[in-house]
A = this chain, B = another copy of it.
Amino acid sequence: MYNCPMHSKQLLKGTLQTIILKLLSEHKRMYGYEITQQVKLLSEGKISLTEGALYPALHKLEAEGLLISEKVYIGKRVRKYYSLTQTGSNTVTTKLKEFSDFVSTMQAVLNLEPKLK
């Protein structure tokens, strides 16, 4: 799912849903390819989502009722836009909290200082 020029591929596992949901909470609707580009931009090229991970993840989130999709034709090409459902919208907050807790806990276990700005 990730093609990360750093060496922390393992660490990125489990973050894909959080990333997708958070981006959609800021953009109303996005399509798959757009998400990959946005992630690449925000991570300064450090994270490249692979299609083999992204599309199944989007399908799963839709099946679970967190996202809904709509197909839009751009000329002859299909785009599948995804947006948050109400459930999905509520889940974003939970996911972000979980990520923060995770970081805090790991910093405690690894005896690391939280970073200052």
- Which A residues are closer than 8 A to B by beta carbons? 6-15, 17-19, 22, 26, 39, 42-44, 46-47, 94, 96, 98-106, 108-117
CB pair B46–A105 under 8 Å, yes or no, is yes
Within 8 Å CB of A115, what residues of B? 100, 103-104, 114-115
Evaluate contact between B8 and A101: CB separation under 8 angstroms.
yes
Is there contact, CB below 8 Å, between A11 and B99? yes
Does B8 contact A43, Cβ atoms closer than 8 Å?
A: no
| Number of identical protomers | 2
Instruction: Point out the residue from B42, B94, B111 that lies within 8 Å of A7, measured CB to CB.
Output: B94
Q: Are A42 and B109 in contact (CB under 8 A)?
A: yes
Contact A43–B10 (Cβ < 8 Å): no
- Using Cβ atoms and an 8 Å threshold, which residues of chain B touch A98? 6-8, 11
A105-B43 in contact (CB<8A): yes
Residues of B within 8 A of A102 (CB): 6, 8, 11-12
Inter-chain contact A117/B117, CB cutoff 8 Å: no
Q: Separation in Å of the A26 CB from the closest CB of chain B?
A: 7
